[in-house]
Structure 1
Amino acid sequence: MKKIMVIEDHKKIRDELCKFLIQNGYECLAPENFANIIELILSSAAQLILLDINLPVYDGYHICREIRKVSEVPIIVVTSRDTEIDELLAINLGADDFVTKPYNTQILLARIATVLKRAYHEAPPEKLLCGNFTVNLAKSSLEYRNMTAELTKNELKILTCLYEKKGVIVSRDELMRYLWDSELFIDDNTLTVNMTRLRRKLEETGLMNVIETRRGQGYIML
């Protein structure tokens, strides 16, 4: 069980975030006294820090800078400050990611998982259990009851992206960035073709209405 420290001075936000993290399988530390916060972080053995910027005693930038002098513990800045300058400063000081409030909890959870995986080189799972069907990542296939459908690389990535954000609308732009990891290679028509083929394979294995289109917004896995 990974240990996450939440550095947040707003009690309601801190308590709700800790409750959410615990419900999703993490151990949570949430200090209320910020006088010796840097020493507390370093002695906590936390494996990831969720760090607000507007804090008493020291702001999040100072904390991030001091932590980075002696530790590589992953830091995700979670703040209501949403300018590009704020994000750039946080990243330049050593933060691993930058999330603005108010945030979607499922997206925050996905960001946490990504940062932890990158920091601790965790092996990805071979299978994803998506309700009543399974995505076999090792074999790039879809499994439902006694049916199996082979997936192309792009079909597998689309399904994985929607699974990671199940219940949340994923925009077409976000899907295309996930597919190609670069906005230089975005092709809207190619995404449409891949989505159509993926839906056909889902239906051919007996899975209907797994992916729903939200007009003008994107796609959602139900």
Structure 2
Amino acid sequence: MKQTILVVEDQQVLREIMKEYLEDTGYEVLEAKNGIEALALFEEKKIHLLVLDIMLPEIDGWSVCRRIRKQSNVPILMLTSRSDDDDTLLGFDLGADDYVVKPCSPPVLLARCKRLLEIKREIPPADTLVAGQFMLDYSSRKITVSGSEVRLTHTEFEILAYLMENKGRILTKEQLIMKIWGYDFEGEERTLSSHIRNLRSKLGEHSKHIVTVIRSGYKFEEYL
């Protein structure tokens, strides 16, 4: 079964280029030229990934991202015409998983999409992973802490899963970046730090289990 990508971009030529390239790679691609169309399609269809431009007519990309995050943890790849740190960090705060700066080459876009759609693990995990009060369910991609579900984005889930799988072990920032994004990621440490901050915010009092190791990286401590 083909995975479906929703491309939301108001520039028709760019939208058609992305659609053609992604379809040639084997994905089913739906198009929306504004935020209203994007939200309508998201309600009607099963979407596996959103490629979402920021500057959209009707409803901008920020608002689309915010609304979708209230109901779904579908991976969201933001498109921005500026390499502005504030734009990037705002996108992550709203729940975006990754971003690319326009104009970008189709192979770069494809690499980002593939990474968000594929869960690459060397050893297939058990259905669930339990560490203290944390229970992570791989099949449903849900995390519960003390019996209460915590809604995470695709990237936040991957970060927490990797930390829990290596509980008690220090993972360097470089290890986390390569594991989660799998390439020489533009945002590097700043982007990782933003996702860690958002993850801790959602975990509330349980965020203490994600420990920062100065000048090294992060680790998950089961009991604190």
Q: Map 1:195-210; keep pairs closer than 5 Å.
A: none
Structure 2 Cα separation of the partners of residues 36 and 109 of structure 1: 23
Aligned to 2:107: 106
For residue 109 of structure 1, report the CA deviation from its aligned partner: 1.2
Aligned to 2:21, what secondary structure does the other structure show? helix
- Does the CA-based 8 Å contact 1:4-1:26 persist in structure 2? yes
Structure 1 Cα separation of the partners of residues 6 and 53 of structure 2: 11
Aligned to 1:39: 40
- Give the CA RMSD over aligned residues: 3.4
Q: Which has the larger radius of gyration?
A: 1
Aligned to 2:55: 54
Question: How many residues in Structure 1 have an aligned counterpart in Structure 2?
Answer: 137
What does the per-residue CA deviation read over 1:184-205, in whole Å, with 9 as the maximum and x for residues that have no partner? 68xxxxxxxxxxxxxxxxxxxx
Structure 2 Cα separation of the partners of residues 72 and 111 of structure 1: 17
Structure 2 Cα separation of the partners of residues 88 and 123 of structure 1: 28
Q: Cα–Cα, structure 1 residues 44 and 94, in superposed 2: closer, same or farther, change >3 Å?
A: same
Instruction: Give the partner amino acid of 2:65.
Output: C
Aligned to 2:16, what secondary structure does the other structure show? helix
Aligned to 1:42, what secondary structure does the other structure show? helix
- Does the CA-based 8 Å contact 2:65-2:95 persist in structure 1? yes
Aligned to 1:30: 31
Aligned to 1:70, what secondary structure does the other structure show? coil
- Does the CA-based 8 Å contact 2:6-2:51 persist in structure 1? yes
Structure 1 Cα separation of the partners of residues 79 and 110 of structure 2: 12
For residue 78 of structure 1, report the CA deviation from its aligned partner: 1.2
Aligned to 2:75: 74
- Does the CA-based 8 Å contact 2:34-2:59 persist in structure 1? no
For residue 39 of structure 1, report the CA deviation from its aligned partner: 2.8
Aligned to 2:126: none
Q: Cα–Cα, structure 1 residues 103 and 33, in superposed 2: closer, same or farther, change >3 Å?
A: closer
- Does the CA-based 8 Å contact 2:34-2:57 persist in structure 1? no
Structure 1 Cα separation of the partners of residues 50 and 122 of structure 2: 22
For residue 36 of structure 1, report the CA deviation from its aligned partner: 4.5
Instruction: Give the partner amino acid of 1:65.
Output: R
User: Identity over aligned residues, as a percent?
Assistant: 38
For residue 82 of structure 1, report the CA deviation from its aligned partner: 2.0
- Does the CA-based 8 Å contact 1:42-1:67 persist in structure 2? no
What does the per-residue CA deviation read over 1:42-81, in whole Å, with 9 as the maximum and x for residues that have no partner? 2221100000011110000000000000111110001213
Q: TM-score, normalised by structure 1?
A: 0.53
**Gaps in structure 1 of 5+ consecutive residues:** 126-160, 186-222
Instruction: Give the partner amino acid of 1:16.
Output: I
Q: Map 1:96-135; keep pairs closer than 5 Å.
A: 96-117=97-118, 121=119
What does the per-residue CA deviation read over 1:84-106, in whole Å, with 9 as the maximum and x for residues that have no partner? 00000001000010111011221
Aligned to 2:64: 63
- Does the CA-based 8 Å contact 1:22-1:28 persist in structure 2? yes
